[in-house]
């Protein structure tokens, strides 16, 4: 419902509690968008233009887990629906670098 950074500490655990199969992904943080592709098949899992990303950050107490909120429907008049995409990097340093690159966009 809200896309500000303050929601990440609640949104990340909520997403992680949902049953879903973990997938290895490759991130490509471009100048205008963020792409996530499945590592094994190169299938595009998400394409998020930087203007649609409302916040990015890491979870308090879990330094390798990070997330970003993206407008679920950027063309909606109030822009009040957001998806929280949650990922785990292989290290704290990698997580910090990805968050920093997304935040620069």
Domain 5-104 has CATH 2.30.29.30: yes
The CA distance from 87 to 51, in Å, is: 20
pLDDT tens track for 16-39: 888 877 889 998 999 999 999 999
> Which pLDDT does position 79 carry in this prediction?
54
The CA distance from 89 to 26, in Å, is: 10
- Cβ atoms of 49 and 35 closer than 8 Å: no
Nearest Cα residue to 66 out of 25, 33, 37, 38: 25
The pTM score is 0.81
């Amino acid at each position: 419902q809200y896309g500000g950074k303050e929601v990440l500490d609640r949104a990340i655990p909520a997403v992680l509690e949902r049953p879903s199969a973990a997938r290895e992904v490759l991130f490509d943080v471009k100048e205008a968008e963020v792409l996530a592709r499945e590592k094994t098949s190169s299938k595009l899992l998400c394409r998020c233009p930087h203007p649609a990303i409302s916040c990015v950050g890491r979870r308090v107490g879990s330094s390798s887990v990070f997330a970003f909120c993206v407008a679920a429907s950027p063309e909606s008049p109030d822009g009040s629906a957001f998806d929280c995409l949650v990922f785990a990097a292989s290290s704290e340093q990698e997580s910090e670098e990805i968050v920093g690159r997304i935040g620069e966009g």
